[in-house]
Amino acid sequence: MATEQELQSLFDKLDRDQDGKVSLNEIFLSPGLSTILSLETNTNSPQELLSQSNLNKNDSITYEELKEVVKKAGNFN
C-alpha cells in the first residue's frame, strides 16, 4: 500500500529527466524501482503498466495516471 507521499517519491525517482512523466526507458533504467512499481500496480511489466495507464497514448505515464492505476489495484492508502 502506498501513501500519496510514497507514490510521489517513487514517481520523482523514476522521472530522471524531471519532465513530469515517466517513460518506458526511465522505468527500465531503474530495475529496483520498477519492481516496486509492478507490485503497487499489479502489473507484470513496464509495457503492461503503460498499456493500462497511458490515457493519452504517448509512451509515458504522468503522476496522475500512475495514481489511478495504483488506486484500481487497491494499493493506494
- Digit-coded pLDDT (tens) for 43-74: 998 888 888 776 667 788 999 999 999 998 99
Q: Quote the pLDDT of residue 56.
A: 62
pLDDT per position as a tens digit, 8-23: 999 999 999 999 999 9
CB-based contact 21:55 (threshold 8 Å): no
Mean pLDDT of 24-51: 88
Task: Supply the pLDDT for residue 22.
Answer: 93
Give whole-number Cα distances, 15 to 36, 46, 74, in Å.
Answer: 15, 14, 23
- pTM for the structure as a whole: 0.86
Domain map of the chain by residue range? 4-72
For the domain spanning 4-72, the CATH number is: 1.10.238.10
Vertex 4, ends 60 and 56: CA angle to 5°? 25
